[in-house]
Structure 1
Amino acid sequence: MDEPIAGPPERVFGRAREALAEVRELSQALQRQVLRLGDLGRLQEALRANPGFLDRVLENVPGGLVMVSPTGAILRANRAAIEFLGMPDDILSRREVGDWGTVTLREDGSECPVEEYPVTRCLATGEPQPPSTIGVRHPDGRVVWGVFYATPVHAEGGELLGVLVTFLDITERREAEEELRRSEDRLRTVLENAPDFVLLVDEEGQILYINRTFAPRRAEDVVGRSCLDFVAPEGQDRMRAALRSARDGVASHYELEAADTGRRYAMRLVPLAVAQERRRTFLLIATDVTEQRRIEAERRRYEHRVQQLQRMESLTILAGGVAHDFNNLLLAILGRTELALRRLPHGSEAATAREHLEEARTAILRARDLTDALLAYSGGGTFVFAPVDLNTVARETIRLLELQLLRGREVRCELAEDLPPVAGDATQLRQVVMNLLVNAAEASPAGGRIALRTRRERWEGGALRIPGEFVRGAELVVLEVEDEGVGMAEEVLAKAFDPFFTTKFTGRGLGLASVAGIVRGHRGGLHVESEAGRGSTFRVHLPADGATPRQRVEQSGGESRDGAVLVVDDERHVREVARATLEDEGYAVVTASGGREALRRVRAEGARLRLVILDLIMPDLGGEEVLEELRRTRPDLPVILTSGYEEEMATRRMERSSLHGFLKKPYRLEALLELVRAVCPPGEGSEPLR
């Protein structure tokens, strides 16, 4: 396995130069060892005294050695040379320089002519030759490399006796060097094309190397500077702490913001085992995570929005259910209270009782307002759509509130002159403006300023606390109410539109909840910005005019007729109150506790039945299904619908022409009698049906 390469390119080539220097030292040592033999005479003396001496010298010399005559003939070669050149000694000794039987190569791989051999130049000049790297290609295609030296051998009189050629086999070193070069090229390619910033820094954070990813800056403009120069001020202490950890041998992972671009980077600072120029170095890798963090933030906002919608849906269902059941209870209480008032004798002896009952009725009607607010939150309120000028609504609401709730506070109006109308219910939108102003006034100290603004805008997307039903590019009308009050912390803000949630001692927690319900009913969106101690800004986004105006159902009267009235409701108290009230007026009354029983009653009574008072929501068979069956079997039978929801919501899936009236629970008994009289006046002498 190759040894991993660390550090910049200069370190790689530095190792190769060190290896080459070792080769030179070995070759020079070889030459010195040969030259120590002295002149030819002394060599001849040693040879005569010991015929095997020369052989032992040649075979023990480190590296290859070739003796060449002045004419270029090869006189002798040691075993290392024979193996390097790839031919037997008996053949080699009959050859001349240039007639090796192999191809020689320059260092760059091209063919090397004989004239460039160190031995050829040495024979021609009589001077020692500097080292040359030469390759030899064997017949089998294998190439070996050596560093060759050529040293002349002279007689005492200066006559050239021959040339001593020495060389060392550097094939393995050269292959290692080549692999090192390829590894360096691969490393350089990886570094220069990496998507991340890759830097080498010293202990103080000075940049020693950086890859090309740092465009558009040039590397020379960055190298030598401190990495702190490129970090935003709030992240520089974190960078210094990472450098301290690296000096202790500990890697760091952290995230910083760039000083000039504001982009965010995940940083990894790793201490390296090697030093550069006697300085400890650290590897710093910076990955751009700006887009990743944006996507993560968007995902969190989306998840929060989904959770809000799910929570809001649950609260909406809960609020609607509570309001429906509460209205039934209120109707029973209100009905019995009004029955008691109707049957209470007039006179001083009953005055106190009448006063108590009147107070009870007033309290019940106030409770009815509470259920109306719950219904508004759940989207069950009435919405009579028509073009509405929001500026006019804002002015009228301010005039209504300025003498009491807004007194002592400065209200600044900034109403857009080019504001288009919105398709909405003026009464409900007035309630929105009123509740937002009341909320601002209660949150603001005396003398505080409240700003009310309107404007038109094109929807370009964005996160809203309550998302609207509009698409990008839609034309919107924006109502904004800003105060300088106490503001809200995030945990309070998250619950601001929940029913019954309030931070005020005297509050009921339904003002902002009803605003949310009304805005949703208008297909609008709602957003709020607030911070504890710094006030709040509420923005209502409503679609500009485009909705088709809808009208309330006209109550159509019927011909006067005798007969019985069928009261259908799953609440016993409601049935009993309605029955008692109608019987007091001379009507014959029959009751049913559910939809299926009502249909049986209709079939049993036949033509004698002249009117049905039908509840909308019942457990077994709802009012909508009962009405559909009645229109099929008794299309002539008048039906009055009752519900705790507003008329628009209760009748939205019904043919309004099939109804003869609508009563919203809890209704006043006088309202019940007035509508029943209009549809079916009581007959003379009619008796209740039991």
Structure 2
Amino acid sequence: MVYILKERTGMKGNNRRSGIVFLGDIPWGTHICQLYSGKDDLLEILAPYFRAGLENNELCMWIASGTPEENEISGAMQKVMPDLDEYIKKGRFKIIPYDEWYLINNEFDAERVMALWDKVLGQALADGYEGIRAAGDTAWLQKKHWESFRKYEEAINGVIEKYRMIAFCAYPFKKCEASEVLDVIQNHEFTVIRQDNEWKVLGSRLFKKEERKLDEAEKKYRMVVDNSSDIIFSFDTSGKVDFISPNIYQLLGYKQEDVTGGDWLQLIHPDERESIRNNLSNVAENELRPRYIFRVLKKDGNIAFMEAISRFIAGSEGKTAYMVGVIRDITERRRIEAELEKTERLEMLGIFAGGIAHDFNNMLTPILGNIGLLKIRHSSRKEEKELLEEAENAGRRAKELTHHLLTFARGGEPVKKPAKTVKLIKDSVNFALHGSDLKPEFLIQKDLWQTEVDSGQINQAISNIILNARQAVKGGGLITIRADNAVVRQGENGLKEGRYVKIGIQDKGPGISEEHIGKIFNPFFTTKKGGIGLGLSIAYSIIKRHDGAVTVESETGRGTTFNIYIPASSNGTKTEETAKAFYEGKGNILLMDDEEQVRNTMGRVLMHFGYSVSFAREGREAIDLYSKALNSKDPFDAVIVDMIIPGGLGGKETAVELLKISPGARIVVTTGYSDDPVISDYKKYGFAAAIPKPCSVDVISSVMHGVVKGRRD
């Protein structure tokens, strides 16, 4: 409520000039505040306020927060008081940092600060001053200090009228939430605020006891309410809405008249009304500020998540008269929190899955390596070759399984290469639908942009979504696969601005219920009997690692559409295809691995292709062998190091030491974490090449041929 200030100037007492034109004279014991929007607002009030105090023989004190700076205050004061420096020199005007007055070790102690004021006032009166004129900027105030500082301000109200002191508190308006603004206004005799370039004064209900009626609260806080992004409300003990701010229309779609006079609980989702009603009935009067998070029904039928902070205001004889508070729309915040929680769960699963995949890849290396050697040695024997190929295919399927698990591995990155996007999409879909009664319908834009991806991972992501549709749709039919070029705005679907290939997968199945649609990407969430619940979470993780996004739209009874966004290549990339080949070689190789079976198998493969091989179990042993051989007649042409050696020096650390000894050393890294960044960007770490496990005979042969040949050339 805006009060006419002449009512204040007529009060009895030892009035003092405030120096502020629109305030006039004020008595000792006045406790006022300003909600300022910027430095200029603050200085416009403070300069004449302090000038009047200095001219009235008052000790002036400014508790500064660093905004504005001390020299800015002095500069503003000097414009209206040329002799300010003389006042400062005599100690009549003091500027004190907040962390020397309000805080000790970043903690606020109200009793200590009250005692300080008492001490300073006693000394000022003894020194001949009329009293104290103080001002303090609360820009330093942190959330953790708010409640104790609010109570301190309440305590000031109870004692300041007994002292020859005027207190002026400045609060940065933009830092205060709506409920905090209410606290500020209630804890001061009146509040100064600029609105539409005009200074206004808000009176406090605590200082005008005869104006306690509930309907006047709306007028009192009108300026705050109209400028708040939160909904401000009040209702009586029966739950009848007495007031609700007009911005309910922007947030929920209701007009004020739709809600005022009705039961406010009718806005809340039916599933939560009773629990909130029960909770409110148990809240202690006056003291507690209950905080609730709940769902509300918007006018258009959608659901929004809201957070309410409220306070009961006591009526006569201690009975609860009404409840006031603010409601904030936290729908977007909840979405972001859910996204972060989902990501954290995936990362935790990734750590677990990565460890399993690493060990599994180490076990597969001797299996696939020995099968590969046997195939070479028995290539002319048809029956044995067929048996070996069958065993090899089973091993490759196991390798694909570990690749799926490594999608979750922490730090695992896609090994991106230029891809034929259209072929990749069609191959993935046809493979996933093979043997089913569903038919794909491809609607692919002409001149679809190319992508640079890990083809195996993208194949897996698309296949998992297709398999999800395949399990949902019964009785055959079509699955529509669209692929289009898309230009995305910044922030759309959580993406960066840029060019994307958008892949849409649409089925006409039963759809996903509202209850389940927010959980479908959670690891292990499934509604299918016997399902594991990893397919969609793996797809989600893969696309995220490609800096893309996956969205889902579904309507019960009408089907589901998944949209995948993959960044398009920024240049005209060409795809590469390589054929298997075996290369004979010659050279001296040092092989370091802590697994005996891996050492034996890889050593056997290297020797088969003509290399001499020495073995080490961990990095220190490898460094010692390399150093001794370096000055001999038969130094090592290349070193193969396993990246992770439990209890010993691993591959990256070993490479650093070897390159110190011999800057030209040719070092190849190998690891069961086949999606590790070291594999995809091995040169960055000083390696000449990388061999991901499980490694086939042809890969070992071709990589080592290139490495050793490169050294000899």
What TM-score range do you get, normalising by the shorter chain? 0.5 to 0.7
Change (3 A) 1:325 1:640: same
Residue 400 (structure 1) shift:
5.7
**SS at structure 2 position matched to 1:655:** helix
- Indicate whether 1:307 and 2:341 are aligned: yes
Q: What TM-score comes out, normalization by structure 1 length?
A: 0.52
- Measured in 2, the distance between the counterparts of 1:334 and 1:323 equals 16
Contact residue 445 and residue 485 of structure 1 kept, 8 A: no
Number of the residue aligned with 1:621: 649
Q: List per-residue Cα deviations over 1:5-47 (Å, max 9, x = no partner).
A: xxxxxxxxxxxxxxxxxxxxxxxxxxxxxxxxxxxxxxxxxxx
Residue 368 (structure 1) shift:
1.2
Residue 330 (structure 1) shift:
0.9
Given candidates 587, 598, 603, the residue that maps to 2:622 is: 598
- Measured in 2, the distance between the counterparts of 1:270 and 1:678 equals 81
Number of the residue aligned with 2:416: 384
- Indicate whether 1:437 and 2:466 are aligned: yes
Change (3 A) 1:526 1:616: farther
Q: What TM-score comes out, normalization by structure 2 length?
A: 0.51
Residue 515 (structure 1) shift:
2.4
Number of the residue aligned with 1:612: 638
- Indicate whether 1:193 and 2:220 are aligned: yes
Change (3 A) 1:532 1:590: farther
Q: List per-residue Cα deviations over 1:65-88 (Å, max 9, x = no partner).
A: xxxxxxxxxxxxxxxxxxxxxxxx
Alignment of 1:97-116 (within 5 A): none
Change (3 A) 1:332 1:551: same
Supply the AA of the counterpart residue of 2:404.
Answer: A
Alignment of 1:86-165 (within 5 A): none
- Indicate whether 1:408 and 2:438 are aligned: yes
Change (3 A) 1:549 1:510: farther
- Measured in 2, the distance between the counterparts of 1:314 and 1:287 equals 39
- Measured in 2, the distance between the counterparts of 1:642 and 1:610 equals 18
Change (3 A) 1:242 1:426: closer
- Measured in 1, the distance between the counterparts of 2:471 and 2:275 equals 48
Contact residue 365 and residue 695 of structure 2 kept, 8 A: yes
Structure 1: gaps spanning 5 or more residues: 1-181, 275-280, 682-690
- Indicate whether 1:642 and 2:670 are aligned: yes
Change (3 A) 1:229 1:567: closer
- Measured in 1, the distance between the counterparts of 2:341 and 2:239 equals 48
Residue 344 (structure 1) shift:
7.6
Change (3 A) 1:659 1:344: same
- Measured in 2, the distance between the counterparts of 1:354 and 1:479 equals 41
Q: List per-residue Cα deviations over 1:78-119 (Å, max 9, x = no partner).
A: xxxxxxxxxxxxxxxxxxxxxxxxxxxxxxxxxxxxxxxxxx
Contact residue 319 and residue 374 of structure 1 kept, 8 A: yes
Residue 354 (structure 1) shift:
7.2
Q: List per-residue Cα deviations over 1:229-257 (Å, max 9, x = no partner).
A: 999688899999999xx9xxx99x99996
Supply the AA of the counterpart residue of 2:416.
Answer: V
- Measured in 1, the distance between the counterparts of 2:538 and 2:236 equals 61
- Indicate whether 1:330 and 2:392 are aligned: no
Alignment of 1:54-69 (within 5 A): none
Change (3 A) 1:505 1:340: farther
Given candidates 303, 314, 317, the residue that maps to 2:351 is: 317
Q: List per-residue Cα deviations over 1:268-316 (Å, max 9, x = no partner).
A: 9999999xxxxxx996656552x2xx23x44444443333222222222
- Measured in 1, the distance between the counterparts of 2:256 and 2:690 equals 80
- Indicate whether 1:570 and 2:604 are aligned: no
Contact residue 592 and residue 617 of structure 2 kept, 8 A: yes
Residue 446 (structure 1) shift:
2.0
Change (3 A) 1:661 1:422: closer
Supply the AA of the counterpart residue of 1:618.
Answer: I
Change (3 A) 1:514 1:549: farther
Change (3 A) 1:259 1:192: farther
Supply the AA of the counterpart residue of 2:348.
Answer: S
Given candidates 664, 669, 677, the residue that maps to 2:697 is: 669
Change (3 A) 1:654 1:480: same
- Measured in 2, the distance between the counterparts of 1:216 and 1:569 equals 66
Supply the AA of the counterpart residue of 2:438.
Answer: G
Q: List per-residue Cα deviations over 1:195-253 (Å, max 9, x = no partner).
A: 5566789x998x9xx67977999xxx999x9934999688899999999xx9xxx99x9
Alignment of 1:272-671 (within 5 A): 287=325, 289=327, 291=328, 294-295=329-330, 297-338=331-372, 359-378=390-409, 380=412, 382-386=414-418, 393-395=424-426, 397-398=428-429, 404-405=435-436, 407-409=437-439, 411=440, 413=442, 415=444, 421-425=450-454, 428-454=457-483, 456-459=486-489, 461=491, 470-471=495-496, 473-483=497-507, 484-485=509-510, 487=512, 494=519, 496=521, 498=523, 511-528=535-552, 535-546=559-570, 563-585=587-609, 587-606=611-630, 607-619=633-645, 620-646=648-674, 649-655=677-683, 661-671=689-699
Contact residue 372 and residue 381 of structure 1 kept, 8 A: no
**SS at structure 2 position matched to 1:538:** strand
- Measured in 1, the distance between the counterparts of 2:352 and 2:218 equals 61
Change (3 A) 1:229 1:650: closer
Change (3 A) 1:434 1:593: same
Residue 592 (structure 1) shift:
0.5
**SS at structure 2 position matched to 1:364:** helix
Contact residue 479 and residue 505 of structure 2 kept, 8 A: yes
- Measured in 1, the distance between the counterparts of 2:537 and 2:260 equals 55
- Measured in 1, the distance between the counterparts of 2:586 and 2:637 equals 10
- Measured in 1, the distance between the counterparts of 2:386 and 2:248 equals 87
**SS at structure 1 position matched to 2:643:** coil
**SS at structure 2 position matched to 1:330:** helix
- Measured in 2, the distance between the counterparts of 1:237 and 1:372 equals 43
Supply the AA of the counterpart residue of 1:363.
Answer: A
Residue 345 (structure 1) shift:
11
**SS at structure 2 position matched to 1:546:** coil
Supply the AA of the counterpart residue of 2:536.
Answer: L
- Measured in 1, the distance between the counterparts of 2:360 and 2:521 equals 24
Contact residue 652 and residue 685 of structure 2 kept, 8 A: no
Residue 326 (structure 1) shift:
1.2
Supply the AA of the counterpart residue of 1:639.
Answer: I
- Measured in 2, the distance between the counterparts of 1:508 and 1:487 equals 17
Supply the AA of the counterpart residue of 1:383.
Answer: V
Structure 2: gaps spanning 5 or more residues: 1-207, 226-231, 250-254
Change (3 A) 1:392 1:193: farther
Change (3 A) 1:212 1:229: closer
- Measured in 2, the distance between the counterparts of 1:518 and 1:383 equals 12
Residue 380 (structure 1) shift:
3.6
- Measured in 2, the distance between the counterparts of 1:678 and 1:216 equals 70
> Cα RMSD (Å) of the superposition?
5.7
**SS at structure 2 position matched to 1:227:** coil
Change (3 A) 1:634 1:257: closer
**SS at structure 2 position matched to 1:363:** helix
- Measured in 2, the distance between the counterparts of 1:266 and 1:514 equals 39
Residue 589 (structure 1) shift:
2.0
